A and B are shown apart, each in its own frame.
Chain A
């Protein structure tokens, strides 16, 4: 290294130090994809890609979720559901997660991962009850250890670390799978959770659903980091990117990650790159802050379209199957909606019934008071 000419005389020791600086850490983030937007293979495919039945199951989960989202938004628009967060265009991520997880793993989701939840056995009626303002929608009848949707962004990352600690403590080969959004990766909870998961080697998989927007704040405004996956590197955790609209790549990477985590108890982070094709929620109007052209340009990357093209190209799928599936999904959704709409409201005093295991005496008067209240429906 050339020593700059200066009036200050450098000591020998100074010069030696600067001459011997060496790189002590470097990192790379890999981006994984199997199919391009047209459903053509870009890298060698795993055995999943030649298993029509598994492919059809992945496709079904995406279709069900998309039709469910469409229905839920319609219910909201007609005053039959509260504010709703759609997962339109992002169905592949939850589908891959839900398919790759084992039943005894634990899911800690945000509000945009219905595909994963449905595959875990959470019912559509439960999700509707939740957004319809009824706590019973969080009392999942299956996957009883899964966490309910976490609304305070990124707070679930800490719970995931705790769940993973319990798994490790009991020497159980289980994984806590935690989903958060790109915006969520700006929160301290997230960094702190990554850090502890890394230092204690806890069996947790963080999945970042990077849909490029956090309400009106674009991914570029959220962080100067090139990828969100590299945030894991700083905590000593493996991180990678996957095309979040490529369900085959996602499924492969999730399976590998889960197997590795189960095996080594080392946490991992997967950043799934996708795009929010809808408003943030039904209370939002995205046209206020992002150009229609940007959304339109994303349509070609649609995850369902991509898998369908691949299946069509390989003779695994046809329009008849498509229509059958469509009808089956709609029937299932209609039945769930009916069950939702027919669910009578809870009693007013139910507010008190799950506060504590046993209601303290101090609250009994209030409970009796609430019992006399009238609902407005």
Chain B
């Protein structure tokens, strides 16, 4: 057992998988001697050398595209984009190529790559450093979008992402990179992709979330427990493809649901989940599905950041509103 925080868990998973598999390579801006601006790749270059831990020139479009070429050759590149705000030049490559290579070639070529990026607000970062645009990726057929929300899930899901034979966009909630340490068993065992994690069982309402908001949602659930309200908390973890089975089972049990995400409301992944519940779970619902989300605004600079971010209080209020619905 080792005690690590979320970013250390990322580092641990990278180090172990690189040691276990020569085809795994880490690349990105400042990932080498600097260990990444959040230190997710710290010491890796020392351990694995400059051909396996590669500082790239400042070229996101090529980082994304090069990973595809490497992956088609059977390597397993783990490319880091320094902040999600700078991931957009890779979208051409991810959308037009990574997501489709297998399909275009009827399986002749594939793309086992991982694109990692820290995302989300709440750390008083400069402009363009705090957005949550996971829904843009979740809209792309043919890729996986995975977001861990604890050290153990960061470790297990990153291992799974690297081993996965298809492209994975792995988004790391930087607000909770260092918020807490957790004992994890670094046994090299991956966690399953494509499944939600039920973090807490409860019978009154289902709270569905991912990323850093998992933390606030669990706190809200704690506070609600004190008032005798038992919330089931689900960490979606893989946003694409969505595990509606777990979500629908929970909603069938509780009949009420609040979806929480930091990203802007319209077109967010919460909308997809709500639609899925509407399609298959409508008759179990005792109240309309509520969403607690960021606003449909540009992410404000940090002085107003807290006014943008959904918070524990909003989750509690939405829960009560849902429970009071008759």
Chain A interface residues (CB < 8 Å from chain B):
82-83, 130-135, 149, 151-154, 183-184, 186-189, 214-217, 221-223, 281, 283-284, 288-289, 345-346, 348, 350-352, 355, 362-363, 366, 369-370, 373-377
Contacts and interface: CB of A to CB of B under 8 A. Distances in A.
A131 B298 contact: no
A351 B304 contact: yes
Contact of B34 (A134, A215, A346, A351): A215
A371 B174 CA distance: 27
B57 A83 contact: no
Given A152-B86, A221-B55, A355-B298, A345 B304 contact: yes
B94 to A, nearest CB: 15
A370 B298 CA distance: 13
Interface of B: 29-30, 32-35, 37, 55-62, 85-86, 88-89, 124-129, 265, 295-298, 300-308
Given A153-B86, A351-B298, A375-B306, 14 more contacts: A82-B125, A151-B85, A151-B128, A188-B59, A189-B89, A215-B34, A217-B29, A223-B57, A283-B37, A289-B33, A346-B303, A351-B304, A351-B308, A366-B295
Nearest to A366: B295
B128 A152 contact: yes
Contact of A186 (B59, B86, B265): B59
B307 A132 contact: no
B301 to A, nearest CB: 4
Given A351-B304, A351-B307, A375-B303, A215 B86 contact: no
A131 B300 contact: no
Contacts of B128: 151-152
Nearest to B32: A216
A153 B307 CA distance: 28
Nearest to A134: B303
B300 A135 contact: yes
A216 B89 contact: no
Contact of B304 (A82, A363, A375): A375
A363 B297 CA distance: 9
A186 B35 CA distance: 21
B30 A216 contact: yes
A82 B58 contact: no
Question: Which of B58, B297, B300 has the most chain A CB atoms inside 10 A of its CB?
Answer: B58
B92 to A, nearest CB: 10
A127 B228 CA distance: 50
Contact of A187 (B33, B59, B306, B307): B59
Contacts of B298: 351, 355
B59 A131 contact: no
A288 B33 contact: yes
**Top-6 shortest CB links A-B:** A133-B302, A216-B34, A186-B57, A348-B307, A133-B303, A183-B58
A77 to B, nearest CB: 14
A366 B58 contact: no
Nearest to A111: B126
Contact of B306 (A82, A184, A355, A376): A376
A154 B307 CA distance: 31
Contacts of A369: 295
